[in-house]
Structure 1
Amino acid sequence: MSAQPEGPTVATEASPPGPRPGPDTGPHLDPRPESVTESGGVGADDPRGAAPARGPDAVHRGAFHASPLAMVVVDRAGLIVDANAAALPLLRTTGGGALVGRVAAELLDLSSDPRTWHTYLEVLRGRQARLSLTRRLKHAAGHSVWAQVTVEPMPGSDAVLLSLSDISARRELQDRLRHLRMHDPVTRLANRSLFFERLDAALESGAYEGTGATGRVGLCYLDLDGFKAVNDTLGHHVGDRLLAAVAERLTRCAQQQAAHATGGVPLVARLGGDEFALLVEDSTGTEQPAALAQAVLDALQEPFDLCGQRLSLSASIGVVERQIAGATTTGLMQAADTTLYWAKADGKARWTLFDPERNAHRVTRQALASGLRPAVERGEFVLDYQPLVELAGGRPHGVEALVRWRHPQFGLLTPNRFIGLAEEDGSIVQLGRWVLRTACRQARRWQLDHPGVPPLFVSVNVAVRQVWDSDLVADVAQILEETGLPAELLQLELTESAVMGSAGRPLRALRALSDMGVRIAIDDFGTGYSNLAYLSRLPVSALKLDGSFVRGFQYETQTQTQPQTQTQTQYEPQTQPQAQTQYETQGDTRHETQRAARHETQCEARHEGAPSESGGAPTDPADAVIVEALVQLAHRLGLTVTAECVETAQQAERLRRIGCDAGQGWLYSRPVPAERIAELLASGRGTCQADTEGSGFGNP
């Protein structure tokens, strides 16, 4: 690649003394051959006659200028004092004399990088042994070359030698290999490695002020809906062609946005499988990646014609846009992945923008889930008890055990915050066993401490997973034996959907428990998948009507408008506002125990100092008819009926007149600690009337 220099070469101050060479030999070298004796002198029989001997310096200087490796000699001030012929074209000159006195650092752009510049100066001062770097140079012929530059001191001299090696061919090969390594072979898009390299670079460059950039970054993280079915039914070759077609549309969307917005073309990458990402560097705000996401959805709506198949496809997209300051690659990708999950959970074929508040609930949920099992071992759970009151005489004849979590970080948590999580990870078995043992032990203590009072039975909620994942019958038998509680003083509550249609192991477990003497109750009856014909074959002793039916019993008639002062402002607020559980309970209705826990919160929420959800409406005739029919059906089957969420005396009276056996709700008491139940028993009160003072019990 190097061209022969034109004109004289560069003279140096180190030229040896002697006769000046002729014009054809250059200023330093005498090309005439010599016969050199072993002592270094010229032989007497040399036909050319005597000639002066050439020393080692002359030989080295000849090798310097004849070397195909480009070399430049620089003094300690950084000025060029000599250069060989191979260096001239790489330094954009054909005349050696033009380089003498030039600043080498300027020709090689060594000052552009502070670290490189510092190291170069250290080599010039003799404090560093060597510097090696790669530079792209302009060749004298007009094309660009890549050169490997090495800077090192010359032994025995104050000068420094710069050597330049043309590595353009090697660099081109490296670039081709890098392209193959950084691009997906199926879609020709950037792959995961290149995407993260660009993302890291964007976050790093945007962190410096004064760069002229917006200081923001946007990301669209998408996943194809139903792509696995294409691979499974039509084969991977069709799947690969579909991915390539999707890549073309994504690239077109990115190019179209770049034509209508500031900044460069968003990077389109395939991260793996059917996951793609579009990186918007120097984003101008949330609207930019959101518009890109919508454009992608619109582009994918058009069917794909592949291999004689007409395929329709959609995508779910998570959109994240934020300031670069304080952002990290890990945090950005976690947010994108979370938002993509939301888009799929919300129904797919849509884009969803990252919501910090929603994510905070997700993080809280994850923190609760990870701490459930250790919390049981640390004793962070406690039980409150809510009386079950006979409507005919107002006497409490049982209590329902309700679990709370005294979380060291989040405070007192009601069941709707953690029961569903416990069912998901299986810790409900361990927690349910603790609740059952604690409630039975407490019921036995009340019985022993108050022998003159009719004993209260304790009602405990049981999750479906407890029946499947543990030997519930053996657990109940062991706990009753340990605590000494009679079996008839224990009632187990299962939700209607969990009991109806039960067969196999669950039904055998229920029958075994009933044969043992344990009461079986169906909770939230009337809201699940009722199978009334099947109800008669279940070993059930009680039904608990869902509170949604009781709301219609707010008043006797339309003209009766007595205010509800006795129940509207007397209770303390919820531990956690209902709004805080919006996202945590969303989509979890498949967990029946969690549904019951939410039902408890809904009953409590109507006592937040606001009117009942019925809004002061008159009695709903439909609710009255349904409740009366359910009560009559239950009694014909030999079952007792307890109404949940009883709020007012009018509701209680209406329920009593249609034959409902018992009531449970804040009219009588909020859930209270075991000591308050003991006080009720110790007082000898035979009734539990309306709670008008928020003390936890009705006044005598």
Structure 2
Amino acid sequence: MLTWIRTGRVAAAGVLACAVLLVVQQAWFFGRWGGDELSSLVTDASYVPLAVVFTVLAARVALSKRQEVRTRRAWRVITVAFACQLAAHCAWFVQSHVLHVTGYPSVADYCFLLFSPFMFAGLLMLPGQHRRRQDRQKLALDALIVGAGGFIAIWYLLLGPILNAPGMSGWERTFTAALPIGDLLLVLAMSTAMLRRHQPDVPAPLRLLAGSIALTATADVSYSWIQLNGGFTGGSWPDLLWLAGCFLLVVAADQQYRRPHRPAPRHGNRNAVFVLPYVASVAAYLLLAAQASHLPLNPYGGMILGSAVLTLLVMARQLHALRDNRELAVTDGLTGLANRVLVTERLAQLSHQPIRAGRYTAVLLIDLDRFKPINDTFGHEAGDAVLVAAADAMRAVIREGDLAGRLGGDEFALVLRNLPSRDVAGAAAARLLNALRTPVIFGDQVLMIEASIGVAVHDDPDTSGDTLLQRADTALYAAKRAGRGRFEYYSDVMDTKAREAELRRAIADDELVVFFQPAVALDTGELRAVEALVRWNHPTRGLLGPAAFIDLAEETGAVVPLGAWVLRRACQEAADWRAALPGAEPLRLTVNLSPKQVAQADLVQTVEKILADTAFPPDRLTLEITESVILSPDQLTVDRLEALRDLGIQLAVDDFGTGYSALSYLRRLPVTVLKIDRSFVTGIADDPEARSVCEAVVHLGNAFRMNVVAEGIETAEQAAALIDMGCSVGQGFHFHRPLPPAEAAALVRDRFAAVV
């Protein structure tokens, strides 16, 4: 049956059938159809299918791998409790309408009594959030308050009368008292299970179980009271409560099975569950007042009234303390803004709200530019003054209902709700940028600050609060890269993970193209080498230069497969030229290696395989490494570079002089080519100082017996100056721009055809 009922449609049909059965029974009861005996038969018969369904559905939860282990373990015990209920209802029907047994306590009563300890254990086994020791102590006190209030009610209604009831045997008296005590244990366990959930994260199944236990406990107390005052017969009004409680058990088991394995938490500021101790206390005093109403006002009435008022005042004071503690817990101590906890809660709330047409929610993530130098130069007090001034600027920008918070350090967030358009978020960001540019006076100092802002608009119902904050963070760093002191909207183009996946897909789908920039002899223009430069032929954005994706490739590690692809494609192209034009054999091929490629343990094997597969000779290949590699290489890096050199490959240092060059490593590493960065070439024709610096770099390369190649040559005057310095090879727009494969092949044929 379990396999059969695991299908969603069958389970839904079972729940619907139970609902119809409950409605029919209620109509039968209130319609008084067929007399008391038939009404009792219909009512007692209605329990059996309800009990069968909730027991089977509970077993489905207990055996389902969709539930976490602790939940399954708890529901196994709850299933046993439900089975006791099923046995009790079946036994009651048989003894009342088949065997006509009227003894008390009966088999059915024993089965009903067994339900309480198993359900008590199952409820306490239900998983809750991890809490500190202090929180667990408060939870225990709250649960005991609820239990004490319930005990007062049960004592007033049942336990006191049971102890004084005449004509009952000792066993009957004990059994009759055990039923309400079992219900009291269930109330205590249910209040514990609900109170140990954080905020309003009380799942629907638990709330349904609580409703069922409340109805069942009320019916049980009524049943015991009726037994004390004349004897219970089936079809009475407590059956309405029992049947409704049974139906809630059906729905609870079904909802638990449908509940996700890790449901998204819901956050909020209020939770009706925490009112339980106060409700229990008030109810207990009301019963006490009712019981003592016949006592004289002096002294008993006044004492009871005073105790009740005193308790209410303590409750009110505790509620104020809870509210104050809540405000302290979600407020930043320095700025008075919300802290990360409250910002995260608000975002989680908004992410679960439906998106309305024409209404937008936006998150602005703000980071103060150049805040660290202020802290370092003028001290933390100056930094605190800047943070307070920034908080004041944010309060001036937001509206009532919006939220401004400090996430930590100099990072802030604004949550703007019910915006009429996306542009309003940008307008708020622009106003905030202007407000933050107001100078901050600190003692004798005038502190100038700016900020970068990332804006993310919530327009996707499946976007979580954390994702929205991450998107704003992505946009923030895009604003910083674009020059700071500005704001940027988030777009999918900024998403690092999405862009990384797109880039890796581009490599696999052959969307990349290798361009070739020729390097020539400066005095004759003779073609000496070609440098491979990658481009991305993007399907929607057109041809992209390396600046659009190389940084992303370096950041994500995609540069390793990208670099291997470029090397293979470039070697294949150059090998094809050599095969078609034997005179092109002296032409060298230059390919860049990223630092991450150099760090790969299998670099040498990868290069060897590519050369073997493409039949390109290693002595015609030059691999360029950056200064960051030669700055402080470890022994493994040195070994890899020497292994490449032993294959016959030349190694070049690219963009020499732009970093923190360590000259000692030029002697240690197997580098044979020094490429002068374009920044040293610019201005050498008309600026004596620039010329002197460039000439020093050329002489340095010659001193280390390296071949010197100049990059970024754009004029004939720059080429002439380099020749005078002793540099013989160069590349740049003055000679050739980077050429697509077909044009590069045509240039090679043109230059080397005569040699053939």
Greater fraction helix: 2
Who wins on radius of gyration, i.e. which is larger? 1
When you count strand as a share of all residues, which structure comes out higher? 1
> What is the TM-score when the length of structure 1 is the normalising length?
0.48
TM-score under structure 2 length normalisation: 0.45
